[in-house]
Chain A
Amino acid sequence: MAARDEILAKLRAAAAPAVELPDLSRFAPVTYPDLRERFAKSVIEVGGRCVFVAGSLQDELAKIPEFANARRSVSLVPGVEGNVDLTAVSDPHELNDIDFCVVPAEFGVAENGACWITDHGRANRAVCFLTQHLAIVVRDLVHNLHQAYERIQMPGRGFAMFLSGPSKTADIEQALVIGAHGARSCTVLVTS
């Protein structure tokens, strides 16, 4: 018998008694009186920076030293200028020297500062991980992950992620180090 059928047959024979899937619609998770305030707090807690954008995005970005000093930058946000055109890059390895990347998020989650970022099938999602510094532009916020998944339309095919702050590790004696493999800083720009 093929491995697949043998494993499935064994699992069927193991026959754990039927258990109902709990009804999550009756579950009332925590919500916050001030969504924006809670989101900003969470972003800071996970090691990020949070900026509420009143004027132009480009002006806010210019205030970030890592953006201002970036030699090579990528922007996936309309209206924000980068100097590397991602569509012209055929091999993601060429993106290793990107200093700054600006990406749009579909929404942010107040309870944990995470932003839902999809790649819309773009070939070069590697830029989000290779870049030295990252900025995320987001407008909509939800309270918690339950609301988040209610909202998400999972792509039939493709990549998507919750990203919460900069890359980090505490693998050496529990000491928190920001900038493990991925972005060394993460600024979340909340537009209205």
Chain B
Amino acid sequence: MTAGHPRRALQLVQNPERLHWHDQAVWFVRQKRDIARSFVPEWEELRSLASQIKAHALSRLPDYLEQFESRAKAAGAVVHWARDADEHNRIVLSLLRERGVTRLVKSKSMLTEECKLNEHLEAHGIEVVDTDLGERIVQFRREPPSHIVMPAIHLKKEEIGALFHDELGTPEGLSDPKALAEAARVHMREKFLAAQAGLTGVNFAIASTGGVVVCTNEGNADLGTSLPPLHIACMGVEKIVPSPRELAVFLRLLARSATGQPITTYTSHFHGPKPGGEMHIVIVDHGRSRILARPEFRASLKCIRCAACMNTCPVYRRSGGHSYGVTVPGPIGSVLARQRDLPPMPRKSFRAQWRDRGRAR
């Protein structure tokens, strides 16, 4: 758990009606996942294979990244490397500035949340529109996502209705999800058509082909990359899979674990830019090499961000994503945060050090 969590959790815990609503909403997704995986008899074997593939990829990460880079270049992409969030943000900003881009559409990327890219670009006069519906909702509210798959799971439809009334001019009191989503569709179409560049995250990067795979249900990553001439894809170093055949293992797990769907609606494979366009891939470390160097934390780099751990976690469900105070909340977030967002814990207690000293004498 992260520091300050007990205090921040009170906001939800002290509101029993909302607490149970949130718990039930998130538990519902866990139940959908249980149903979806029951149609895959080889489920546990699949999970174990996925874990082994990730362990393998992590054990040969530099080689695979070099292979990925050369194949991506051959496909026509430009590859950039960023040591940390600042460098990542500088690279993205200069790509946009060099091309005079002032309007950017983004599809979901936890990495850019981690790097606080939006704030950086906005501070430099670029309009950034998060196009995933949930992301757009929390962007309007100027708050971070509370869940990595369902960014606005902490909000009730009435609250979203009031927000859309203010932001999009929907009728007062309108809270029907279908009507609200339609209003967002109209609003976002304009943004897609006006955008000069599209930025996506990366779910998987294929070493053998230099391609990146992006998964969405809404189609926002595809609209955002097929209209404007510039596509920027941002990925952590750990997103590598060796070849397309391993993708089958991960894609069979990802959406079933995340939302109980057999696959995301759009599973897009990008190899280089669209004709006449540009594709830039930014490969980011930002603390991942440090995690890789620590055997007890290394396994956390296997995470595919399905959020199943959040949905099953009784603590997450009863404290809400914002209570963690870090980019990725919940169980996996608590592990990652120890490495990244927080100062390190003491390795040894006073008692243990005193004992060591005694032994040494």
User: Is A in direct contact with B (CB under 8 Å) within the complex?
Assistant: yes
B227 near A7 (CB under 8 angstroms)? no
Residues of B close to A183: CB separation below 8 A: 219
Instruction: Choose one: A20, A121, A129, A164; the contact of B262 (CB below 8 Å).
Output: A164
**Which chain B residues in 242-301 approach chain A with CB under 8 Å?**
242, 244-249, 251-252, 259, 261-272, 274-276, 283, 285, 289-290, 292-293, 295, 298
Instruction: Choose one: B29, B182, B226, B290; the contact of A129 (CB below 8 Å).
Output: B226
Say whether, besides A30-B41, A158-B271, A181-B185, A145 and B251 are in contact (CB < 8 Å): yes
Say whether, besides A3-B87, A46-B261, A177 and B248 are in contact (CB < 8 Å): no
Among B76, B81, B298, find the residue whose CB has the most chain A CB atoms closer than 10 A: B81
Q: Would you give the 0/1 interface string for A115-134, flagging 1 where the beta carbon is closer than 8 Å to chain B?
A: 00000011101101110000
Name 18 A/B residue pairs within 8 A (Cβ), A-sorted: A11-B289, A16-B292, A16-B298, A19-B52, A22-B52, A24-B248, A46-B262, A144-B248, A154-B206, A161-B266, A164-B267, A168-B265, A170-B150, A170-B259, A171-B150, A175-B157, A175-B178, A177-B178
B244 near A182 (CB under 8 angstroms)? no
Distance, CA A112 to CA B83, complexed state (A): 38
**Which chain A residues in 143-185 approach chain B with CB under 8 Å?**
144-146, 148-150, 152, 154-175, 177, 179-183
Task: Add 17 more A-B contacts to A16-B61, A167-B218 (CB < 8 A).
Answer: A6-B83, A11-B292, A13-B289, A14-B293, A21-B56, A22-B53, A109-B263, A112-B263, A125-B226, A130-B223, A146-B248, A149-B245, A154-B271, A169-B134, A169-B217, A172-B180, A173-B157
Q: Determine the residue in chain B with the shortest Cβ distance to A28.
A: B42
Shortest A46–chain B CB gap in Å is: 7
A156 near B262 (CB under 8 angstroms)? no
A4 near B81 (CB under 8 angstroms)? yes
Residues of A close to B131: CB separation below 8 A: 181
Among A12, A96, A182, find the residue whose CB has the most chain B CB atoms closer than 10 A: A182
A129 near B271 (CB under 8 angstroms)? no
Q: Determine the residue in chain A with the shortest Cβ distance to B61.
A: A11
B244 near A152 (CB under 8 angstroms)? yes
Q: Would you give the 0/1 interface string for B44-61, flagging 1 where the beta carbon is closer than 8 Å to chain A?
A: 011001001101101111
A3 near B82 (CB under 8 angstroms)? yes
B133 near A114 (CB under 8 angstroms)? no
Q: Determine the residue in chain A with the shortest Cβ distance to B66.
A: A8
B82 near A11 (CB under 8 angstroms)? no
Q: Determine the residue in chain B with the shortest Cβ distance to A21.
A: B56
Shortest A92–chain B CB gap in Å is: 6
Residues of A close to B206: CB separation below 8 A: 154
Q: Which residues of B contact A (CB under 8 A)?
A: 25, 28-29, 39-42, 45-46, 49, 52-53, 55-56, 58-62, 65-66, 69, 74-76, 81-83, 87, 131-134, 137, 150-153, 155-157, 160, 177-178, 180-182, 184-185, 188-189, 192-193, 206, 209, 211, 217-220, 222-223, 226-227, 237, 242, 244-249, 251-252, 259, 261-272, 274-276, 283, 285, 289-290, 292-293, 295, 298
Distance, CA A21 to CA B132, complexed state (A): 34
Instruction: Choose one: B137, B220, B276; the contact of A180 (CB below 8 Å).
Output: B220
Say whether, besides A3-B82, A30-B41, A123-B276, A179 and B193 are in contact (CB < 8 Å): no
Say whether, besides A154-B209, A159-B271, A172 and B65 are in contact (CB < 8 Å): no
Question: By the criterion of a CB under 8 Å from any partner CB, how many residues of chain A are at the interface?
Answer: 78
Instruction: Choose one: A7, A122, A167, A170; the contact of B219 (CB below 8 Å).
Output: A167
Total A-B residue contacts, Cβ distance less than 8 Å: 261
Residues of B close to A181: CB separation below 8 A: 131, 185, 188-189, 192, 218-220, 223
Distance, CA A117 to CA B25, complexed state (A): 34
Residues of B close to A13: CB separation below 8 A: 289, 293
Residues of B close to A73: CB separation below 8 A: none
Residues of A close to B263: CB separation below 8 A: 46, 109, 112-114, 145, 162, 164
Shortest B223–chain A CB gap in Å is: 5
Whether A2 is near chain B, meaning CB under 8 Å from some CB there, is yes
Residues of B close to A93: CB separation below 8 A: 193, 227
Instruction: Choose one: B52, B226, B244; the contact of A149 (CB below 8 Å).
Output: B244
Whether A54 is near chain B, meaning CB under 8 Å from some CB there, is no
Distance, CA A16 to CA B81, complexed state (A): 21
